[in-house]
């Protein structure tokens, strides 16, 4: 790997940011009329979360948002990506809106605006209102209509105050971890159901895009509208025919399964040929609804898929190591992925890297956290990103995951992704060395911009 990019190499208009999501940081689970989501239900069931924790309090961001926005401002980034808790603004997921819930996000947007930080909102980061789950959740086609109404309401209220709105975050996870293997809420393990859920998620995305376009045209607002997908290039462990075929299948069922409907209006045949279609119901107009033009595509990149058909499977060498999640550090996979997307989808809109980051078992010494591994990770991934951009991929933003250490889903609080350490006993925030590194990096970018 060559040296990381010099500070002036990114375009002056490039957007630098940090990201979080509602359930992972907000806490205040029952405050001001918030209704329960499937993650409240799931975390309160014994045995679901490794350390037995919940998001009831999390980083208490609901009460500390002002301090957190000040930290974002101190980092000097121009953008903040966060999600709205649907059950905070509509406790049942249908019917009445909760004004107190919307007020919270309004206060957050005010604070961001005061600091000159652009808001990038995600509507759905996995926390379906329990009131909808009680009627079948994402297996019930009606949920797609409720989602579109929710999207329209957020666009109506906040469309003029946010830079972008993404419909879903990582629908692959919602479908496959929520319904395929029960690692995530609502804790169902049935791969055939997961496929139907993924279709409903895509349909809800299309319906929400249509609804938001209408609202934005009516109210004269122009947030960029898109979706956020987690993606990985799938690489065969050897050049055997079996490994190559398996890698193509892995890529088809994970990346192309979501990309093809959105950008080509059809599911990839390679995946359809092999997936369990017993529960797969698609209505005549669905693909047309899903196939909407996007203003941006959010890509979350963490690792590659290393695909082996041997028994036991061959493991990646992990030349650059593994994160505390056990994920291989493979920055060049980001370059490969972006180049592949560009060659496969001629209608690709500008890309935002909406997540990229590393869990490290950080240690506090004398009030400081010297997380050199995370700094290296950042440098290498920014370099890999720059390589893709130098080859012509239109990437316009990078959001580090995450601003704060937070509730890492079924791993509880054991895994720390933050640039900022959170002491969950006292809620004290401490900037890690990586936060200072990122601040200096972004600052140098801004100086280059001003020069």
Cα–Cα distance between 259 and 114 in angstroms, integer? 37
Identify which of residues 105 and 401 has a Cβ nearer to ligand IFM in the complex: 401
Identify which of residues 260 and 355 has a Cβ nearer to ligand IFM in the complex: 355
Identify which of residues 138 and 184 has a Cβ nearer to ligand IFM in the complex: 184
Q: How far is the CB of 355 from ligand IFM (least distance, A)?
A: 5
Phi, then psi, of 137 in degrees rounded to 5:
55, -135
DSSP SS3 for 123: strand
Q: Which residues bind ligand IFM (CB under 6 A)?
A: 21, 24, 170, 300, 355, 401, 408, 417
What residues contact 217, with CB distance under 8 A and at least 6 apart?
none
Q: How far is the CB of 354 from ligand IFM (least distance, A)?
A: 9
DSSP SS3 for 243: helix
CB 351 within 8 A of CB 246: no
Using alpha carbons, list the distances in angstroms from residue 293 to 6, 83, 226. Answer: 35, 22, 9
Phi, then psi, of 352 in degrees rounded to 5:
-110, 130
Q: How far is the CB of 328 from ligand IFM (least distance, A)?
A: 14
Identify which of residues 232 and 401 has a Cβ nearer to ligand IFM in the complex: 401
Identify which of residues 232 and 251 has a Cβ nearer to ligand IFM in the complex: 232
Identify which of residues 22 and 289 has a Cβ nearer to ligand IFM in the complex: 22
Helix 433-450, helix 372-390: angle, nearest 10: 30
Q: How far is the CB of 87 from ligand IFM (least distance, A)?
A: 17
Asked about 355 being catalytic, the answer comes back as yes
Asked about 408 being catalytic, the answer comes back as no
Cα–Cα distance between 362 and 367 in angstroms, integer? 12
DSSP SS3 for 268: coil
Length reported for the chain: 451
DSSP SS3 for 433: helix
CB 83 within 8 A of CB 123: yes
Identify which of residues 201 and 215 has a Cβ nearer to ligand IFM in the complex: 201
Q: Which of 170, 328, 387, 408 is catalytic?
A: 170
Q: Strands, E, within 92-151: which ranges?
A: 118-124
Q: How far is the CB of 353 from ligand IFM (least distance, A)?
A: 12
What residues contact 312, with CB distance under 8 A and at least 6 apart?
none
Q: Cβ–Cβ contacts within 10 Å for residue 195, how many?
A: 24
Q: Which of 26, 250, 328, 355 is catalytic?
A: 355
CB 364 within 8 A of CB 433: no
What residues contact 311, with CB distance under 8 A and at least 6 apart?
none
DSSP SS3 for 354: strand
Q: How far is the CB of 19 from ligand IFM (least distance, A)?
A: 8
Q: How far is the CB of 402 from ligand IFM (least distance, A)?
A: 7
Active site residues: 170, 355
């Amino acid at each position: 790997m060559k040296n990381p990019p010099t500070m002036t190499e990114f375009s002056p208009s490039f957007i630098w940011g940090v990201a979080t999501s509602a359930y992972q940081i907000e806490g205040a689970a029952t405050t001001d009329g918030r209704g329960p989501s499937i993650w409240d239900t799931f975390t309160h069931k014994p045995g679901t979360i490794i350390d037995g924790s919940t998001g009831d309090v999390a980083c208490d961001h609901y009460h500390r948002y002002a301090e957190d926005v000040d930290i974002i401002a101190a980092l000097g980034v121009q953008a903040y990506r966060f999600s709205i808790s649907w059950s905070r603004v509509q406790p049942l997921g249908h019917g009445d809106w909760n004004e107190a819930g919307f007020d919270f996000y309004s206060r957050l947007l005010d604070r961001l605006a005061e600091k000159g930080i652009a808001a990038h909102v995600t509507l759905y980061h996995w926390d379906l209102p329990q009131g909808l789950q009680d009627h079948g959740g994402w297996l019930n086609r009606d949920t797609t209509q409720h989602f579109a109404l929710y999207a329209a309401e957020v666009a109506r209220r906040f469309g003029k105050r946010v830079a972008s709105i993404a419909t879903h975050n990582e629908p692959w996870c919602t479908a496959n971890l929520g319904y395929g293997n029960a690692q995530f809420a609502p804790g169902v393990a049935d791969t055939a159901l997961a496929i139907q859920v993924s279709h409903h998620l895509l349909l809800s995305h299309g319906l929400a895009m249509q609804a938001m376009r209408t609202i934005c045209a009516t109210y004269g607002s122009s947030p960029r509208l898109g979706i956020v997908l987690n993606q990985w290039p799938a690489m065969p462990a050897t050049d055997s025919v079996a490994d190559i075929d398996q890698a193509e299948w892995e890529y088809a069922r994970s990346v192309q399964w979501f990309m093809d409907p959105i950008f080509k209006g059809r599911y990839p045949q390679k995946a359809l040929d092999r997936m369990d279609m017993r529960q797969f119901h698609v209505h005549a107009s669905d693909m047309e609804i899903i196939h909407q033009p996007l203003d941006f595509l959010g890509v979350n990149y963490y690792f590659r898929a290393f695909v082996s058909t041997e028994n036991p499977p061959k493991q990646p060498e992990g030349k650059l190591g593994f994160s505390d999640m056990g994920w291989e550090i493979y920055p060049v996979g980001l370059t490969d992925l972006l180049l592949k997307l560009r060659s496969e989808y001629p209608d690709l809109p500008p890309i935002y890297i909406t997540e990229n980051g590393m869990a490290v078992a950080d240690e506090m010494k004398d009030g400081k956290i010297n997380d050199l591994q995370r700094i290296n990770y950042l440098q290498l991934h920014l370099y890999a990103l720059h390589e893709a951009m130098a080859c012509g991929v239109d990437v316009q933003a990078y959001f580090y995951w995450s601003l704060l250490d937070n509730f890492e889903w079924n791993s509880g609080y054991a895994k720390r992704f933050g640039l900022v350490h959170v002491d969950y006993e006292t809620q004290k925030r401490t900037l890690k060395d990586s936060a200072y590194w990122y601040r200096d990096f972004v600052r140098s970018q801004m100086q280059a911009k001003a020069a």
